[in-house]
Structures are given as C-alpha cells and as structure tokens.
C-alpha cells in the first residue's frame, strides 16, 4: 500500500496544473485530473448527513463549486483525497459551498457572479477569505478556482505560504481533518468543521464515482465461516455505554482481534480512515441488482486497514482486520448496509445478506486491489 501511495504522489507531481476547469465546463463535461480525482456529471441535488445527524441538501450550484475544489485538488501535488475532504469540510462550514459576496465591506463584490451576500467581517467566497488578511484581491476571491488554490497553498498556491494554505501546514496529514481545516481557516469556532466530515466524504464520493463500476457478480459474508459470533443487534437496544434506549444501525459480529474482514461485494472504496465513534472505518460503494449500495465496516484498529480510498475491490477480498477502536466494548465488526448509498438509512445487514444469497467463505482472497 505504501508503494501505491508513493506512486500516486509521483503521478501527482508529474501532472501539470494546466488550465483550471470553469463552472460551465464542470457542469457539462468530465473534468480531467491526475489520479482518481476526476469529476463526473454534476447531479441536480445531493442529500447528506452531518456527524450530529442533521440532513444537508446541496443544489447543483453548490455541487458545481465542490467540483471546482475537487478538480483543483486533483491538479495540485500532494493534496490527494484526504486534502480535498479537508477543503470541502472548510467550504461547507464557512459558506455551505456558496460563493458569497460582501457588499458592506466591498460593494464591488456584488458585480461578480455570486450565490448570496455574507456579512462576516470582510470575508468573501467559498472559504470566507479576507482581503485584509492577505488572501487576495476582491476579484481574485470571487473566483472559486482561485480560492481553492489559495486554500490548498503550497508551492503552486498564490500566496507563497502567507497566509498559509493546507500544504503549508506541517504534518497536516496526521491531524484530525477538522483540526487541519482550522489550521487554515483560523476560526473562532474551531470545533465546527468536524461536523461536516461525513458530508464532505459523501460529496467527494458522489462527484468522483466512476460510471464504469461494474455490477457485482456475487455477495459474500464479511467474516470467514467459524471466525465470529453473530449478535445481530440491528434496531432498538439499550446502549452499553449510556444505558439509554437507542437505535443501532449496524449488525455486530464478535470476533477475535485481527480476524480478516472481507468485502461483501465488488466495488470501490469511498473512505478508509478514522471517523468518530466508528473508530477505523472502511466504506465501499457497490452496484447490486442495478442499485447503488454502500457497505460500512467499523471499529478496525489503526494498522488493520488494507485498502485506501479509490481502491477497487472484489467480493471476498481481505480489506481490513477486526478491532475495537472507537465506541466499542470489545473486538467485533460493526457492519452497516445502506441501499441507495450512504445518505440513505441502513437496513438490517444480516437480513440483506441473506436476501442476496451471501456465501459464507472459508478463506479470504488476496488483499491486492484489482487493476
């Protein structure tokens, strides 16, 4: 996996920045960039949930701005999917992905294309950047592509590290994504960015999802036969931490630490990393029976991830190892199945697997992603 990441970085460095993709081009064509950050057709709307469970509905214009951020990130060496998630979190938090003018501070800002008017000091645009802080001129900051370049910063950024963009923050890759966003934005409310992490991930997955993801030919059980105990805890239950009655969206399969976790179907990894109470989490996008399905595999320990975002996987592939990270009382796999995608409610994973004839394997396949 490290070799693959290294190769990805080399490819990113080798890819010239080229011309930035404009809003109209993003809406009507496929934007090309190095690596896997290729923006496809922009949907009319997208619904996602924040970490605290609030629904967010984004329209075509907001998603077009997200496409600009993704494209610029894909054209900027060393940003990758992780950096784009941080940028989307920041723009979602600061402006809800709207290009905001600020007529009280800069009346001329209304003469540029914009999605509304903000009033926060002299802040402008998607990331609410301030000309008085050195981020750029009014004309520059009313350009979504310029703001994205400024947010990412680095050697190709417009501000040469002052103010500093994400790539100018030493060790940003090991920071919590919310902390990384705060390191650039320097907000008086540093804790608010984390709430938009799942929204950012949903947006990124939706806008970069490959249309060539094939229908999965089979469904398998996520743990090998004889390696687990099925607690089948989907639904209302007494929370083991709080003692309160709460809805549990997953099915818990108790298994020894390090037990191999298998992909339930062919698909593409949309997230692999730490997320709140899930601990180590892998999510995979599938097509099953013509329907999009997202599977979640939670509580994986730190070194137990064997795939990365954008990897292609096959049914039965060893993707991770059972752990007890996050909100967990012991080693187990928390499995969620979301027919319709991650923004849709989970269903009982055990019932879904049974209804789709899941095979109970006795051995795992190779952990190498499909080329």
Contacts of 353 (CB under 8 A, 6+ apart): 219, 221, 264, 337
Peptide bond into 163 cis (omega under 30): yes
In this structure, what are the phi and psi dihedrals at residue 111, rounded to the nearest 5 degrees? Answer: -80, -10
Residue corresponding to tokens 């099953």: 288
According to DSSP, residue 261 is labeled: E
The pLDDT value recorded for residue 171 is 93
284: tokens are 């995979």
pLDDT at position 7, please?
37
Structure tokens at 181: 């966003």
Let me know: does 63 contact 139? Beta carbons within 8 Å. Answer: no
Q: DSSP characters for 164-233?
A: --GGGSTTGGGS-HHHHHHHHH--S-GGGGGGGHHHHHHHHHHHH--TTPPPPS--B-SS-TTS-EE---
Domains (ranges, CATH) in the chain?
Answer: 2-208 (no CATH), 229-355 (2.70.70.10)
Q: According to the model, what pLDDT value does residue 13 have? A: 35
Cβ pair 313, 266 in contact under 8 A: yes
Could you give the C-alpha distances from 285 to 90, 193, 322, 342, in angstroms and in order? 25, 25, 20, 9
CA atoms within 13 A on the CB side of 356: 23
pLDDT tens for the chain, 371 residues long, are 433 344 333 333 333 333 333 333 333 222 333 345 678 778 889 998 898 888 899 999 999 999 999 989 988 888 988 999 999 999 999 999 999 999 999 999 999 999 999 988 999 999 999 999 999 999 999 999 999 999 999 998 999 899 999 999 999 998 999 999 999 999 988 889 999 999 999 999 888 865 455 678 789 999 998 888 877 678 787 777 777 777 878 889 989 999 999 999 998 888 888 888 889 999 999 999 888 899 999 999 878 999 988 788 889 999 999 998 887 888 999 999 999 887 788 899 999 999 999 988 764 444 433 32
The alpha-carbon radius of gyration of the chain (Å, integer) is 21
Element (H, E) at 238: strand 235-238
Helical residues (DSSP H) of the chain, grouped into ranges: 2-14, 23-28, 60-74, 80-95, 138-141, 144-152, 177-185, 197-208, 349-355
Give the β-pairing of 251-254 and 229-230. antiparallel
Q: Assess contact for 292 and 344: CB atoms under 8 A.
A: no
For the chain, the first-to-last Cα distance in angstroms comes to 13
pLDDT of residue 239: 73
DSSP 29: S
Q: Is the pTM of the predicted complex or chain greater than 0.85?
A: no
Q: Residue 288: which of 348, 355, 346, 230 has the closest Cα?
A: 355
Both tokens of 318, joined, read 């060893």
- Token pair 């004839």 in the structure block, residue: 357
Tell how far CA 227 is from the center of its chain.
Answer: 31
């Amino acid at each position: 996996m490290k070799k693959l990441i290294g190769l990805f970085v080399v490819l990113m460095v080798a890819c010239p920045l080229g011309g930035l993709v404009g809003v109209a081009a993003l809406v009507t064509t496929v934007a090309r960039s190095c690596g896997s950050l290729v923006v496809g057709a922009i949907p009319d709307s997208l619904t996602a949930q924040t970490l605290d469970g609030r629904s967010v509905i984004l329209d075509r214009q907001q998603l077009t701005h997200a496409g600009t951020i993704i494209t610029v990130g894909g054209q900027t060496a060393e940003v990758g999917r992780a950096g784009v998630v941080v940028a989307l979190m920041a723009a979602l938090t600061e402006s809800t992905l709207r290009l905001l003018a600020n007529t009280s501070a800069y009346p001329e800002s209304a003469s540029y294309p914009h999605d509304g008017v903000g009033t926060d000091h002299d802040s402008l645009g998607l990331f609410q950047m301030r000309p008085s802080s050195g981020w750029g001129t009014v004309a520059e900051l009313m350009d979504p592509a310029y703001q994205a370049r400024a947010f990412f910063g680095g050697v190709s950024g417009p501000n040469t590290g002052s103010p500093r963009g994400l790539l100018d923050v030493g060790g940003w890759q090991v920071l919590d994504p919310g902390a990384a966003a705060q390191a650039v934005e320097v907000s008086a409310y540093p804790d608010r960015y984390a709430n938009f992490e799942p929204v950012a991930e949903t947006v990124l997955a939706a806008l970069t999802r490959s249309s060539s993801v094939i229908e999965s030919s089979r469904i398998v059980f996520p743990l090998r036969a004889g390696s687990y105990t099925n607690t089948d805890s989907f639904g209302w239950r007494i929370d083991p931490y709080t003692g309160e009655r709460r809805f549990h969206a997953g099915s818990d399969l108790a298994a020894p630490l390090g037990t191999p976790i298998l992909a339930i179907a062919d698909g593409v990894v949309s997230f692999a990393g730490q997320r709140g109470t899930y601990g180590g989490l892998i999510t995979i996008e599938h097509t099953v029976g013509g329907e999009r399905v997202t599977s979640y595999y939670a509580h994986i320990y730190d070194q137990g991830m064997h795939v990365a975002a954008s990897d292609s996987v096959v049914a039965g592939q060893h993707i991770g190892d059972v752990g007890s990270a996050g909100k967990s009382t012991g080693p187990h796999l928390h499995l969620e199945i979301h027919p319709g995608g991650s923004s849709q409610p989970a269903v009982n994973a055990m019932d879904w697997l049974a209804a789709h004839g899941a095979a109970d394997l006795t051995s795992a396949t190779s952990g190498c992603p499909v080329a």
